[in-house]
Chains A and B, each alone.
Chain A
Amino acid sequence: MKNRILFGFALLGALAMTSCASDDTADINITDNSVVNNTTTNPGGGSTGGQTIFLSGTYTEDLELDANNTYKVNGSLIMAAGTTLRVPAGMTVEALAAGSDVYIAISVGAQIEAIGTADNPIVFTSDASAPAAGDWGGLILLGDAPVNSVSGTATSTSEIASLPYGGTDAADNSGTLRYVRVQYSGGSADGQSENNGISFYGVGNGTIVEYVQVFEGKDDGIEFFGGTVDVDFAAVIGAQDDSIDWTEGYTGTITNAYVKHGADHDKGIEADGFNTDIGNNSNPIYFSAPTVNNLTIIGLGSANSSEAVRLRAGTRAMFNNVVLEGYNEGFDLDTDPVVPADHPTGEGVVSGETQVTDITFIDINVKVKNDTGIMFTEADLISGDGNGTGTDFASWGAGWTVGN
């Protein structure tokens, strides 16, 4: 009676496994002695007569922040098309340290005018008394400049806030950011996405971005999703993911960029030619192809930091005057072919669309790691090794930046 024997075994199995689920969940008592969330309003103190105004929701009219007041972003502050958000020099805008859903988004057709000075920069930061990376979302600018995730007038939807972006207006003007610092951003957007410090979604070159810093962000520092916006004088310090990231056909120019990694970090630059989730849907096909002038990236040493610059998914890039310091690898090029016969990232090097001119490697074990599937020599990519001086962050970053 084989079946009886089997049945016997089955009963054994039943006994071996707990026959009934157990609970044993302890009562949790939380004694909260911290003051993390009980921040005082009006930290300026001096401006009596001012009041704390909470900002969130979708603004369909212009929003002009008054230097006499204190503002706190306590939700999604979204500027609708046709509106402008004006932030005066010297203002600190605090954001509720709630992690998710607290951010400032400038929709397509809206503008931000945040114009500070070296002496009076504008700061967007966490309201926590002991602020930490990931306390809030960050700054999101959206425009209708071209992105290669869609073709023609079609739009894509942003990773954060699900707002549309992308189009055909390369000269899109989303306003001005000048002497602006974004701190402690990078809160989770959902179970798989985090906010960056400053995100540019399809932002065009009519927008002025100069003297910006992202400090202590949980995700990427500055990320470009397509678009043509130019950025001058950008510093990313202590970003926990990639410091500068581009994808979806970004073609602007970055001049004077300074990256310094903290204990937790990913790449200095991580760059994709297109969004690999949905493909390169541009017609005719093009890849991200920015120009980066005067770049310094500083890691934690070749024993601790893996890659300074990773180029993948067909991105092109022209680098001029670069210093890379303290990584195992300087440049890592990946192929990411859509068709196995293609090697788009490597083809950019061979065709001369990806070049590095004047560079200095300090404490770098491998200058170039070529995983593109196409043979090229280091000399095909790099010229003027030893001539790079990077960016003069000490002089242009003086006064208005932190953490250097």
Chain B
Amino acid sequence: MKQKITFTIFLLFTFVLIGNAQNGSIVGKVQDKEENNAPLPFANISIKGTSKGTTSDLDGLYQIPEVAPGTYTLVFSFVGYKTQEVENVVVNPGKITNVDVILSVNAAALDAIVITATTRKVSEAATLLEQKKSKDIKQIIGAEELARKGVGDAAGAVSKISGVSRQEGSSNVYVRGMGDRYLNTTFNGLPLPSNNIEKKNISLGLFATDVIENVSISKAYSGKQYGDFAAGNVNINSKEYRGEGFIEAFTGSSINTNAINEDFVVSEGSGYFGDYARHNQNPFAVVLSHGIDPEAVSAPINTNFGIAGGKSWTFGNDSRLSVFGTVSFENGYEYRRGEATDFTTVEKKTFKDAEEFEYSTTTTAMGTVSYKINDDNKLKFNSLFINSSTNEVGYFGIDGTGRDRDAILNTDEGFYQMNAQFDQNQVYVNQLMGTHKSGKFEIDWAAGYNFVVAKQPDRRRITLENYQFALDNDPSTNPTFYSNIVFDNQRYFQDIDDSEFNGRLNLEYEANENLKLNFGYNARAKERNFENIRYGYDIIDSDFQVTDVNNFDAVFSPNNINLTSGDGIYEIRVINTIPGLSNVNRPGLPENTYKGNLDIFAGYVDAEIQTGKWLIVPGIRFEAFDQSIAYDVINLGNSGNATASANENFILPSLNIKYELNEEQNLRLAASRTVSLPEFKETAPFVYIDVTNRVGGNPDLLGSTNPNFINVSDVAYSDVLNLDLKYEWFFGKGEIFSVSAFAKRISDPVNRVVAFDATGTQRYFRTGETAEVYGLELEFRKNILKDADDNNLLGFGINTTLMHTEQDLYDVIQGTYSVSFSETTEQLQGASPFIVNADVSYSPTFGNYKPTGNLVFSYFADRIDALGSGQLGNIIEKSVPTLDFILKNSITENFEINFSVRNILNPDVKFIRETSGGDVLVTSTNGKGVSGYDRGRNIGLQLKYKF
């Protein structure tokens, strides 16, 4: 580690010390004829016959410094525009030569426009330039880089950014080691809902690259952002189209080396496209009408296809209407084989041999209509729909050696469970936004309405004892149902819907060249409704023989319900009865319900002060926060039907300073106060029961004044202090070196811990007074070989984060739920001390054939997944290296054949419990149903054609 740092510091000095002779420079402005001679940012300017060049900035301005005296030809180009050459540009020693040009669309080049998009923030160099110009600390990755790295979705995209890592096997993203609860996700700058009850952020994996213009992560806070900000904000900008029209289509297939050889099964009831037709049925009717057994599917080959198109119309008076639409579908089959163990201080339940089948789908549709009324007024409407589904079937204890310490017949072997579930999430996002300019004023406004439906209909779970008898070919010995409680064999249904209205309004006033003021208002009102119900199969005869473990439908058919004493095999039980009805063989009421409300209103003001090389942006935000959770849950006695709420006003100052060391190098400083708010799922005392885990919320997170509570204060949020210092050097086109140091202090941090409630349920607690985070980030991107036209042939990039985290822990917490800690300090949950992402790309040119090969690597070090309490050790997520190879083959300008091998290293994905006797492989609520499995390699081919 130390060596690497020395190495980069050494590099830094070498590059800085490269000397200056008495040279001249070229400056100028590039304008866009198509946009009424508006400044054209991100245009390429190069000096023919040299390697010198640059890109125009947001104001269309460019500068090529350090040009040796002489006469040159300048080449101006921009994707989709006619390349223009300006000859006889004379550069004199110590003088500045000014060259202004206006670029226009070249009709002959129209076909080329189609390539990826004609948008402006897609190229790697352009995103770096925006990063360089931005007021605050921000990293952006554009569509071009995404495509080059073979990144399939936004989750993959952000994990290429320094300090960001992704949890293997899920779309959970960590920024600077801080997980989901410390992140926010926005879409075109407006809040996005989560598609998952367990998450605050939407799964970034749902955003396929064909809807993304670029993805950015802001790691430093500014007053325009919502105050609930700790690690960063992920913003996805939707794709926009400005060209004359295009249609492209793609289709592809891939195989997973683990899944391809398996007889694949899925949970019954859902369709190929991740649809489900029984949502509107009463769950009790579903239980009676449909069986349990998973069904077989043939040929588990992953498929994707899609179509995208766009067109724009220009009208006489400078106005233009552009539309863009895309529809795509993608599915995947994964097979995991590993262990599933619940180990606390002792082994509670273990399946040394378990397997899971997962079939997932994503359907994405997006439409964008933008209307440029004139140069000063623009409107845009954006509508996004995502249907994502996962269908998982798990068989636990398939070798007959499963154990459960509370087994009734046999605690040494034969414990077995089957779990089949289908999750469907539908996300609708609708946004209308506009910008209006008038003189020194510019208004930017947006309004959005989001709706999410997340359902887990009909999860089926079966539990058997003496499963070894199903494997022994002796028909006289058979497994029996384990029916310690009536829900050991059950059907479960869960429904969540979220709706949110949000909006923003920003007024920018440019007082003069050096001073800009922003006044703004943000509002969001979000509501979540949750309910679940489960039906248990109570087996009448505990000695009932299960003669065919692949045919539970025959057992649990309606004919076998025990209606009058003793004439059937099972009874159906429910927890909450409909008044007047029995809890046996009758429909019931929801087991748990909750309704969460979040209302945030905020006003802010900031100033952009430019003095010489300094850009100083002080800002302040006033935010009113109102959150409540009204719940009606089981097993909380007479406190089970209650409301917890909090109402706070925050004053959040922020300061962002940029100092331009020179054209290429910036120093940045950012300091701010922000807050971290509890989520609905953390405060609602509802418990989700997985095969080997249970996790629930804790209303104390919203604060309590109960005098009997110990170490539970009347605090509903965490105060967060942020400090960032960054040096960045854009030393060439698409090249960067940056190093940053950051520190954070989080008061009353929230961690997930096993509560002391006799059932081992993980819950959320404010576990101590403060947590501190210190870290160092490095990013280095360099082109090693270039061709004659200054295109990158061979390049590499690496970014890495080193981090130290520490939080103090209370010895005892006594509230609605209680816990105690034997340690006094601990690392922050989710924080990896070391993260690295790296990639190498090679793109040679053979005439018209331009393949691009990419090798992409990422790694995170071990991190705490859940904090231990009492005698319990922490659960640790073990480090995972990931290596992908992607080959993009442009056969002709219209036709691509792409090839990829993902997860080349195919490492084991593991969670372990630390115990005084060594590490024990366990499962985690953040992971899959099994642990210690490998995901297999995905080998794929894709065809892409542009019409």
Residues of A within 8 A of B (CB): 2-3, 6-7, 9-14, 16-28, 30, 32, 34, 36-37, 56-58, 75-76, 78, 97-101, 105, 128, 130, 132, 134, 149-152, 154-164, 187-194, 218-219, 225, 241, 248, 263-264, 266, 274-281, 306, 312-313, 334, 336-341
Known contacts A25-B290, A190-B635, A191-B534: A278-B760 contact under CB 8 Å: yes
Q: Are A13 and B289 in contact (CB under 8 A)?
A: no
Q: Are A3 and B817 in contact (CB under 8 A)?
A: no
A-B contact pairs, 24 of them (CB 8 A): A6-B253, A10-B301, A12-B299, A16-B297, A17-B271, A17-B272, A17-B298, A21-B269, A23-B281, A26-B288, A37-B581, A78-B638, A100-B635, A150-B756, A154-B818, A157-B817, A190-B591, A192-B694, A248-B758, A263-B541, A275-B758, A276-B344, A279-B872, A334-B405
Measured CB to CB, the nearest residue on chain A to B637 is: A161
Q: Are A25 and B285 in contact (CB under 8 A)?
A: yes
Q: Are B348 and A276 in contact (CB under 8 A)?
A: yes
Q: Would you give the 0/1 interface string for B748-777, flagging 1 where the beta carbon is closer than 8 Å to chain A?
A: 000000111111100000000000000000
Q: Are A157 and B689 in contact (CB under 8 A)?
A: no
When chains A and B are docked, how far (Å) is the Cα of A115 from the Cα of B760? 36
Q: Would you give the 0/1 interface string for B534-546, flagging 1 where the beta carbon is closer than 8 Å to chain A?
A: 1010100110000
Q: Which residues of B contact A218 (CB under 8 A)?
A: 485-486
Q: Please tell me if B727 contacts chain A, counting CB pairs below 8 Å.
A: no
When chains A and B are docked, how far (Å) is the Cα of A27 from the Cα of B282? 9
Contacting residue for A98 out of B536, B583, B820, B915, CB 8 A: B583
Q: Please tell me if B905 contacts chain A, counting CB pairs below 8 Å.
A: no
Q: Are A27 and B582 in contact (CB under 8 A)?
A: no
Q: Please tell me if B107 contacts chain A, counting CB pairs below 8 Å.
A: no
Q: Are A192 and B487 in contact (CB under 8 A)?
A: yes
Q: Are A156 and B758 in contact (CB under 8 A)?
A: yes
Q: Are B255 and A6 in contact (CB under 8 A)?
A: yes
Measured CB to CB, the nearest residue on chain B to A189 is: B635
Q: How far is the CB of A34 from chain B (nearest CB, A)?
A: 8
Known contacts A20-B273, A275-B758: A14-B285 contact under CB 8 Å: no
Contacting residue for B870 out of A16, A194, A225, A279, CB 8 A: A279
Known contacts A25-B281, A27-B285: A188-B689 contact under CB 8 Å: no
Measured CB to CB, the nearest residue on chain A to B485 is: A194
Q: How far is the CB of B757 from chain A (nearest CB, A)?
A: 4
Q: How far is the CB of B232 from chain A (nearest CB, A)?
A: 34
Q: Are B272 and A277 in contact (CB under 8 A)?
A: no
Q: How far is the CB of B877 from chain A (nearest CB, A)?
A: 21
Q: Are A279 and B301 in contact (CB under 8 A)?
A: no
| Top 5 closest pairs, chain A to chain B, by CB | A279-B871, A277-B760, A21-B271, A161-B637, A13-B299
Q: Are B583 and A58 in contact (CB under 8 A)?
A: no
Q: Are B638 and A155 in contact (CB under 8 A)?
A: no
When chains A and B are docked, how far (Å) is the Cα of A359 from the Cα of B278? 60
Q: Which residues of A contact B869 (CB under 8 A)?
A: 278
Q: How far is the CB of B181 from chain A (nearest CB, A)?
A: 23
Known contacts A24-B289, A188-B485: A162-B816 contact under CB 8 Å: yes
Q: Which residues of A contact B251 (CB under 8 A)?
A: 7
Q: Are B636 and A161 in contact (CB under 8 A)?
A: yes
Interface-facing stretch out of B393-401, B569-577, B857-865:
B569-577
Q: Are B289 and A26 in contact (CB under 8 A)?
A: yes
Q: Are A10 and B302 in contact (CB under 8 A)?
A: yes
Measured CB to CB, the nearest residue on chain A to B409 is: A306
Interface core residue of B484, B574, B755, B816 (most chain A CB under 10 Å): B484
Q: Are B638 and A16 in contact (CB under 8 A)?
A: no
Q: Are B814 and A154 in contact (CB under 8 A)?
A: yes
Q: Are A28 and B298 in contact (CB under 8 A)?
A: no
Known contacts A20-B272, A339-B917: A26-B758 contact under CB 8 Å: no
Give me 6 other A-B pairs in contact (C-beta within 8 A), A2-B941, A6-B941 excluded.
A25-B285, A100-B583, A100-B634, A189-B634, A193-B485, A278-B756
Known contacts A18-B272, A191-B534, A192-B487: A277-B638 contact under CB 8 Å: no
Q: Please tell me if B316 contacts chain A, counting CB pairs below 8 Å.
A: no
Q: Are B637 and A76 in contact (CB under 8 A)?
A: yes
Interface core residue of A20, A21, A27, A334 (most chain B CB under 10 Å): A21
Q: Are B253 and A10 in contact (CB under 8 A)?
A: yes
